[in-house]
Amino acid sequence: MTFPSAVPLAFDGSGVDGSLFSSVTGIAKDTPWLNQPVETWTNLGLGVFAVLMLIAWWNARRRDAAAMALALAVPVSVVAAFAVAEVIKKVVAEARPCHSMPHAYVVDSCPAPNDYAFPSGHTTVAAATVAALFLLDRRLSAVAAVFAVVEAFTRVYVGAHYPHDVIGAAVIALPVAYWTSLALRRFATPAVNGMAKGRLRPLLTASSSSTARSAH
């Protein structure tokens, strides 16, 4: 289905890096056997970041209240970064590549014209997770960074975004998530301390007995 009347109302980002976009989607055209796995991953791969958040929370139970505050801040920071990206997306109103470059090879289905391209929402979530985890666990953040790069590449590979869409998403998400987590650590740590003494204790801190067993 096409939407010719609405497309001219949106910004055409093909002039920014349309040739690079075509080079990446050219890989997809030459490797049709890989298209379905990549298309599946580009959507379901976000689950990896949810798993990393759960691991961060689980590990934070064995640390102090500040660490737990950071663990709880990760999903909040991701949502904050995504919200900022969505506002920017509406302001910029960049047409998806399938509208601006109708003859380009695209694996992903073409969305409606008001589903804009800049910045990439998937990459925003991925990059925000990297930044939020950085304050809590550098190793988990490094793992997230690897998957974030893969996620960004797949968004271009399937033809959903231009390269500048995913780069812009990272530029936006990283500072927003980082500073949001930093602020939440400062203001939420006392609350976590208080809640850890009540019924939520099992969710916020490991019991002394289990900690002792793990030490042996």
Cβ proximity of 152 and 120 under 8 Å: yes
- Joined tokens for residue 146: 């690897």
Share of the chain above pLDDT 70, in %: 83
CB atoms within 10 A of CB 92: 16
Calpha distance 89→112 (Å, rounded) = 14
The one-letter amino acid at 177: A
Q: List pLDDT tens digits, range 92-147.
A: 999 999 888 888 888 888 888 888 999 999 999 999 999 999 999 999 999 999 99
Least confident stretch, 61-70, 82-91, 154-163: 61-70
The yes-or-no verdict on residue 211 having pLDDT over 80 is: no
Give the domain ranges of the chain: 17-207
Q: How far is residue 97 from each of residues 24, 26, 117, 187, 191, measured CA to CA in Å?
A: 12, 14, 8, 42, 46
Please tell me whether residue 72 adopts helix, strand or coil conformation: helix
Q: Where are the alpha helices (DSSP H) in 61-204?
A: 65-92, 97-100, 121-134, 138-157, 163-195, 201-204
Q: pTM value?
A: 0.84
Calpha distance 37→143 (Å, rounded) = 21
